[in-house]
Chain A
Amino acid sequence: GENVEQHPSTLSVQEGDSAVIKCTYSDSASNYFPWYKQELGKRPQLIIDIRSNVGEKKDQRIAVTLNKTAKHFSLHITETQPEDSAVYFCAASILGGNKLVFGAGTILRVKS
């Protein structure tokens, strides 16, 4: 079936450094790729998304890139801060199924 692989499973960075999380997907018809952030004990919340007609999207310190040929997309966080510490999930839409498939998540720790 359709799946999304996410790497790394954990990532530790020093405050001020950049963090990159990568995902690959299997359904070539996928056209929507959101990223969610989940703080400890809280609900997941959307932080950025990208659609298949766009190669890159930025929102302040956060950016997402998409390579449809290789079927992978990445989240980039620059100038990391302690409040960026959380679990990050990528997801891909499954066309014709009206649903998303999520990656297993990345635990990001920003050390101050």
Chain B
Amino acid sequence: NAGVTQTPKFQVLKTGQSMTLQCAQDMNHNSMYWYRQDPGMGLRLIYYSASEGTTDKGEVPNGYNVSRLNKREFSLRLESAAPSQTSVYFCAGSTGVTDTQYFGPGTRLTVL
């Protein structure tokens, strides 16, 4: 089993460009999450999907959109990248909110 996977591992964008971060899990998780991690600020929730077919905003949703394509896949889209979106992005999945969240390896994004 691959667990939680993310692509790409690294990405450099210019301001205004768009891109989609992909996340997939083979752990039969109902819930999936997107976080960003900035130095000194911990993990901040961008969007989450409590179950297939639903998505909700987290703490820092501005500038992002998500799609829960099916139970396995949850993508994060930056429509018009800004330097403030330079960060490490982690996808995670869990059976439910009070169950272990398993994180993907992360995507390091730089916006110039």
A-side contacts of B56, CB under 8 Å: 97-99
Interface majority SS on B: helix, strand, loop or mixed?
loop
Report if B74 contacts A (CB, 8 A): no
A-side contacts of B100, CB under 8 Å: 34, 46, 49
Question: Range of interface residues on chain B?
Answer: 20 to 34
User: How many Å from the CB of B109 to the closest CB on chain A?
Assistant: 15
With contact pairs A89-B42, A99-B58, A103-B42 given, residues A43 and B48 touching in the complex (Cβ less than 8 Å):
no
A-side contacts of B33, CB under 8 Å: 99
Report if A80 contacts B (CB, 8 A): no
Which residues of A, 41-72, contact B by the 8 Å Cβ criterion?
A: 43-46, 49, 51
Report if A31 contacts B (CB, 8 A): yes
CB distance A104 to B105 under 8 Å?
Answer: no
A-side contacts of B106, CB under 8 Å: 43
Report 29 cross-chain contacts, Cβ distance below 8 Å, ordered by A residue. Answer: A1-B59, A6-B42, A9-B40, A31-B98, A34-B100, A43-B104, A43-B105, A44-B43, A44-B103, A46-B101, A51-B98, A89-B42, A89-B43, A97-B56, A98-B31, A98-B48, A98-B50, A98-B97, A99-B45, A99-B48, A99-B56, A100-B97, A100-B101, A102-B35, A102-B45, A103-B42, A104-B41, A104-B42, A105-B42
- Residues of chain B having any CB pair with chain A under 8 Å: 31, 33, 35, 40-45, 48, 50, 56, 58-59, 90, 96-98, 100-101, 103-106
